[in-house]
Amino acid sequence: MKPKVFVARPIPIEVEQYIAEHCEVEKWLGEDTIPRAELLKAVQQVEGLLTTGGRIDGELLDHAPHLKVVSNISVGYNNFDLEAMKARKILGTNTPYVLDNTVADLVMGLILSTARRIPELDQYVKNGQWRRGDDEVLFGVDVHHSTLGIIGLGRIGEAIARRAKLGFDMNVLYHNRSPKTEVEQSLGIRPASLDDLLAQSDFVVLMTPLTPETTHLMGREEFEKMKDTAIFINASRGKTVDEQALIEALETKQIRGAGLDVYEREPIASDHPFLKMPQVVTLPHIGSSTAKTRLDMAKTAAKNLVMAVTGEVPPNVVKELLT
């Protein structure tokens, strides 16, 4: 008898067919996120759950006595209650590696867009404001040969550093929990304390995972240490930033601007202050949003799911659940 799994979000048909070759598949048919009550019903008889988010906590696990694995179609796993899963010996997996370059591309896009004011000046032209002789009103700042500070030099951080160093001749600093000596030597980048990185960087990119230690890592004190000409970029998780502190830093011109792909609450409200700030580029959490990358992520998550419910250990088990 095939193991039963539940797919809590739409996936490409080829991925669904792959899972169906090995498992009995039930799936959520709605276009919106599955309601919590429906998910609690759906997991009662399954051994595997494929999802992109939603809290995996004691309540859900109590409704899923047969569950062996939760497979996230995401590199992040802050939706996992690791202690609750560990206590029940339930595996949790994610999809690292496949989205690294795609997210790094987006970060460089945010850097260029904020530095050269591309979205703002696109509207300037489309609104008929462009006049012959316009000069300083169109000025941005250079990206090439400026200083980039990366907070969190994981795989994506390394990919950003490579693009910045090799493509734009940027001076790259990084702050990380552990040194990356090989990356330093291969790319010519330098480690720095958080305070030094903030003080020296023209662009500060936040790429840390969301943990209790990194929640509101960037707050009022951190923004005060940045140059008033600096630009802040966040493509990690919204809750790594004290959003009110960032709003104040932008309103008081403590920093020049920001490029954001993530927010404390998503989607952001239609009256959010960011939406009225021309110096802020706001994207709808699209870091991995290309057709190829999303397909590769779904394939990876499906393989993790199938391996776990058929008795194998997937390669992408969250490390905290293996200790």
Active site residues: 237, 266, 285
Structure tokens at 138: 């169109």
For residue 13, what is the DSSP state?
H
Number of helices (H) and strands (E), helices first, in the chain?
13, 12
Helix ranges, the chain (H): 13-22, 36-42, 58-62, 82-87, 100-115, 118-126, 155-162, 168, 181-187, 194-200, 220-225, 243-251, 291-309
- Angle of the 100-115 helix axis to the 118-126 helix axis, nearest 10: 60
**Where on the phi/psi map is residue 297: left (φ > 0), alpha (ψ -120 to 50), or beta?**
alpha
Burial classification of residue 234, based on how many CB atoms lie within 10 Å of its CB (0-12 exposed, 13-18 middle, 19 or more buried): buried
Helix extents (H) in 118-200: 118-126, 155-162, 168, 181-187, 194-200
- Provide the residue type at 211 as one letter: T
Question: What residues have CB less than 8 Å from 275, skipping those under 6 apart?
Answer: 268, 282
Q: What secondary structure letter does DSSP report for 104?
A: H
Using CB atoms within 10 Å of the CB of residue 58, give its burial: 0 to 12 exposed, 13 to 18 middle, 19+ buried: middle
Max CA distance (Å), the chain: 75
The residue whose two tokens read 């200083």 is 147
Distance CA 16, CA 12 (A): 6
> Quick check: 235 and 108 in contact, CB under 8 A?
no
